[in-house]
């Protein structure tokens, strides 16, 4: 009944977690989350405490998915890392519980889960909201999330051009050398963004890095960084002019500086678009403001554990 929990290291977690498995599961759970009549999915807004001495935060992300009886908690520490490139900006651990007894059955490194489920949700937003003809992908920020976003976006879609920019040119050059396909490195974000159909922002910046006046009308932006109420990646012009989609309205109202400080209205949750209760306004400039959700980690962790068990 209360056996010792299994520990799965990041190598073990990363192997079985494929985007092909992840995307349909994420679409399903996002849809359920956004149904007002559904009690199948329980997930409060993340509770976050500051780690004052280290410019960091610790987020607790519990989730319960009743129909598959998955009880999960991710704990994620994240930091503002403008200066110190040798320290990680995000560290996550995922726990799976036995829902009947309440004991922890599995402890997993949450690194790969966090990289892949975040990129997969951005890709879902792009599938729904990017212009029908999307030739140019631009990624601002060249860290871990940039790699996972590059991986899934180039797997799912065909771009004629992939562009990158980061605060430091050498980081962008290292990124370009580390991915399998051709990438154009830019030393200016404005030039990188010019004419792009999809823009992914994956920086640890707390100030805007993307400005509305640079963005091509009709483009889609997946905004992944700036997960604190006083942090920004996007300026007021973009937030005012674009149609804003989020993963969770409740989360966005509490955690997203881009939404709170610009006063922008949220048009829809991604789950509402997946359910067909709100439209995907593909012809307009759209922003998907991602904050991350415990249910996303729960479905990813369940996939990993089921595959691991069947391989034993
Ligand atoms: N929405 C979600 O579900 C999730 C969001 N995140 C957030 O995504 C962002 C990226 O995460 P990682 O790739 O893991 O971080 P990372 O530390 O690996 O990479 C961050 C990148 O941003 C660049 N950068 C830092 N400050 C900048 C500035 N002022 N202007 C432009 N570029 C700057 C760095 O040079 C680096 O290339 C973070 O803000 C993180 O908190 C992370 C996980 C999940
Ligand atoms: O959902 C997550 O995981 C994270 N969200 C925002 C900040 C870092 C991790």
Specify the residue with its C-alpha closest to ligand 1, atom 30. 167
Q: Say yes or no: 23 and 83 in one domain.
A: yes
Q: Are residues 194 and 284 in the same domain?
A: yes
With residue 94 as reference, give the H or E element that holds it.
strand 90-97
Judgement on whether residues 102 and 134 belong to the same structural domain of the protein: no
pLDDT tens sequence across 132-181: 999 999 999 999 999 999 999 999 999 999 999 999 999 999 999 999 99
Q: Rounded to the nearest 5°, which phi and psi values hold at 247?
A: -80, -45
Regarding whether 175 and 57 lie in a shared domain, the answer is: no
Residue 17 covered by a domain: yes
User: Which residue has the CA at smallest separation from atom 36 of ligand 1?
Assistant: 143
Say which CATH number the domain at 219 has.
3.40.50.720
Q: Does one domain contain both 304 and 188?
A: no
Q: Whose CA is nearest to atom 17 of ligand 1?
A: 89
pLDDT on residue 15: 85
Q: pLDDT of 255-312, one tens digit each?
A: 999 999 999 999 999 999 999 999 999 999 999 999 999 999 999 999 999 999 999 8
Q: How far is the CA of 102 from the centre of ligand 1 (A)?
A: 34
The model's pLDDT over 213-232, given as tens digits with 9 standing for 90+, comes to 999 999 999 999 999 999 99
* Residue 143 structural domain: 118-293
CATH of the domain at 63: 3.30.1780.10
1, part of any domain: no
Domain count, the chain: 2
User: Does residue 269 share a domain with residue 165?
Assistant: yes
Residues 94 and 21 in one domain: yes
Same domain? 146 vs 39: no
Instruction: Identify whether 35 is part of a domain.
Output: yes
91, 166: one domain: no
283 and 208 in a single domain? The answer is: yes
- If asked whether residues 155 and 265 sit together in one domain, one would say yes
- Whose C-alpha lies nearest to ligand 2, atom 4? 292
In a shared domain, residues 199 and 99: no
Residues whose beta carbon lies within 6 Å of some atom of ligand 2: 76, 78, 90, 92, 114, 227, 291-292
pTM of the model: 0.97
């Amino acid at each position: 009944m209360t056996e010792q929990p299994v520990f799965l290291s990041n190598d073990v977690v990363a192997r079985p977690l494929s985007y092909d498995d992840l995307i349909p599961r994420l679409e399903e759970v996002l849809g359920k989350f956004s149904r007002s009549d559904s009690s199948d999915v329980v997930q409060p807004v993340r509770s976050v405490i500051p780690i004052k001495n280290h410019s960091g935060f610790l987020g607790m992300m519990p989730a319960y998915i009743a129909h598959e009886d998955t009880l999960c908690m991710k704990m994620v520490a994240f930091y503002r890392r403008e200066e110190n490139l040798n320290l990680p900006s995000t560290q996550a651990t995922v726990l799976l519980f036995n829902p009947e007894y309440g004991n922890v059955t599995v402890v997993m490194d949450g690194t790969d889960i966090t990289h892949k489920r975040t990129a997969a949700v951005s890709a879902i937003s792009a599938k729904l909201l990017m212009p029908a003809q999307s030739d140019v992908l631009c990624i601002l920020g060249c860290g871990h999330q940039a790699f996972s976003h590059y991986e899934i976006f180039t797997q799912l879609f065909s771009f004629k051009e992939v562009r990158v920019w980061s605060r430091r040119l050498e980081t962008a050059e290292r990124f370009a050398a580390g991915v399998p396909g051709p990438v154009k490195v830019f030393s200016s974000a404005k030039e990188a963004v010019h004419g792009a159909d999809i823009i992914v922002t994956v920086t640890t910046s707390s100030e805007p890095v993307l400005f509305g006046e640079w963005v091509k009308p009709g483009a889609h932006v997946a905004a992944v960084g700036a997960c604190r109420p006083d942090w920004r990646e996007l300026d007021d012009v973009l937030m005012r002019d674009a149609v804003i989609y989020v993963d969770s309205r409740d989360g966005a109202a509490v955690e997203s500086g881009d939404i709170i400080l610009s006063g922008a209205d949220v048009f829809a949750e991604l789950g509402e678009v997946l359910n067909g209760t709100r439209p995907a306004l593909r012809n307009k400039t759209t922003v998907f403001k991602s904050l991350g959700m415990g249910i996303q980690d729960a479905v990813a962790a369940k996939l990993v554990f089921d595959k691991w068990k069947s391989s034993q």
